[in-house]
Amino acid sequence: MGWNGIKRIVKVRRWGEREGRQFDEIAYYVLSKPIDCAEMVANAIQSHWSIENRLHWAKDVNIREDYTTIKKHGQASMLVQLNNIAFNALTINGYKAVKNTFAKFANKVKELSCLFELKAKT
């Protein structure tokens, strides 16, 4: 059994200083397009992590996901998935991902579930 669609495997070495500490790390990325330009690959990787970091920041600031007291992996994973569903439902329904929005729906399962109602296209 293999991975279909792999066109390139990219090895990236990063080194420098973060928060006063030296680091040297290697990361691997799988590409589904046969890109041979290192600059294009670097831009794609940076773009991906920029999106990930903005989403993580929004979730952490608004629902304090990093400060959960749940220690069991399965439960923590389930909480993250439920948070993702709520986050996406709010966004799709035109709400901004800000603290006031999350406060409005906190502990209001019925109101949140209304965001999942199917609407007929006109």
DSSP assignment of 60-119 equals HHHH-GGG----SHHHHHHHHHHHHHHHHHHHHTT---SHHHHHHHTT-HHHHHGGG---
Q: What is the pLDDT of residue 118?
A: 62
Q: What is the pLDDT of residue 121?
A: 56
Q: What is the pLDDT of residue 119?
A: 59
Q: What is the pLDDT of residue 1?
A: 54
Beta-bridge partner residues of 22: 17
Q: Is 115 exposed, middle or buried (0-12, 13-18, 19+ CB in 10 A)?
A: middle
What distance in Å separates the CA atoms of residue 81 and residue 89, rounded to the nearest whole number? 12
Domain limits, the chain: 8-116
This prediction has a pTM of: 0.50
Tens of pLDDT along the chain (122 residues)?
577 889 999 999 999 998 899 999 999 999 888 988 999 999 888 887 776 767 777 777 777 777 778 878 888 888 888 888 888 888 888 888 777 887 888 888 888 888 877 655 55
Query: Residue 97's Cα: distance from chain center in Å?
Result: 14
Q: What is the pLDDT of residue 82?
A: 84
Rg of the chain in Å (alpha carbons): 19
